Amino acid sequence: MAERTRFLSFVVFCLVAVVVVSWSVYPWAEAQEGPNWHKGLPKQYKSKWLVHDLKRPKPEVVTQAGPVGSAPSDATVLFDGKDLSQWTKGNGKPAAWAVKDGYAELNNTGNIQTKKEFGDCQFHIEWRAPAKPRGVSQARGNSGIFFMGLYEVQIMDSFNNATYADGSAASIYGQHPPLVNACRKPGEWQVYDIVFRRPRFKDGKVSEPGRFTVLHNGVLVQHNTESFGETVWRRLAKYRKASKKGPISIQDHGDRQKVAYRNIWIRELDLSGSD
């Protein structure tokens, strides 16, 4: 009898051990999502996956080694403060902007553009207008980021500097003013985080216009804003058929204003299916 009791105790011990080990090895969520988890789950709208589908691919892990604002692990660093080796002049010759103290500075040598070409993307750039403002309206701290070399997000010192609304800092130049003026004082570093969805073309005509979402110093200033076409001055923008990718170019507006740039990186995206 005692032997049977010992055997039963051993069996109970083993069962408890199995439960405890299973409990500790499997996370709560998986314990909740049992073998019949998918049973009765509806198919998600516009998707081949079920709601809560365990087979749906998990988001890729992206890390950020430095502080917030530094390049994530899947980004292409375009300027790390050391050199402009990934940039050229418009004519293909080496970029000649001054590089010092971790930043690149406009010096009246013309626009610079990336050697590599990009379409849909997330783009990060930090910029600084000259500490001693000079000029008024469009002559003060004017520069800009041209996506695919064609579609400009304006850079300008808009701090206490009135100009036409669709030409102020973080405007889609000549088309859409920013939602608010988030410009910092001249001489202070500022940040743009931009999501660009390139235009799509069908039979040579634009079928889906380009779109911009822009955060200026963390403040939303453009939300899924439609680009009416290539950036122009005093005219209506229009689309010409563009390829799927183009260089990012930074404007030298020719006013001898030493706008400075640092920490430029880009994440290539595929925003097909989003609008």
Site of interaction with Mg ion (CB under 5 A) = 142, 144, 154, 251
Is the CA virtual torsion 52, 270, 127, 105 positive or negative? positive
**Quick one: 75 or 214, whose CB is closer to Mg ion?**
214
> At closest approach, how far in Å is the CB of 200 from Mg ion?
26
> At closest approach, how far in Å is the CB of 262 from Mg ion?
19
**Quick one: 79 or 127, whose CB is closer to Mg ion?**
127
Cα–Cα distances in angstroms (integers) from residue 108 to residues 82, 219, 259, 273, in the given order: 20, 30, 10, 41
> At closest approach, how far in Å is the CB of 171 from Mg ion?
9
> At closest approach, how far in Å is the CB of 60 from Mg ion?
35
Neighbours of 140 (CB within 10 A): 21
Nearest to 109 by CA among 259, 275, 246: 259
End-to-end CA gap in the chain: 76
**Quick one: 253 or 267, whose CB is closer to Mg ion?**
253
- Which residue number is nearest to Mg ion in terms of Cβ? 144
Instruction: Kindly tell me the burial class for residue 129, based on how many C-beta atoms sit within 10 Å of its own C-beta (0-12, 13-18, 19 or more).
Output: buried
**Quick one: 168 or 263, whose CB is closer to Mg ion?**
168
**Quick one: 84 or 250, whose CB is closer to Mg ion?**
250
> At closest approach, how far in Å is the CB of 124 from Mg ion?
19
Dist CA 249 CA 115 (whole Å): 10
Give the DSSP per-residue string, 147-168. Answer: ETTTEEEEE---TT----GGGS
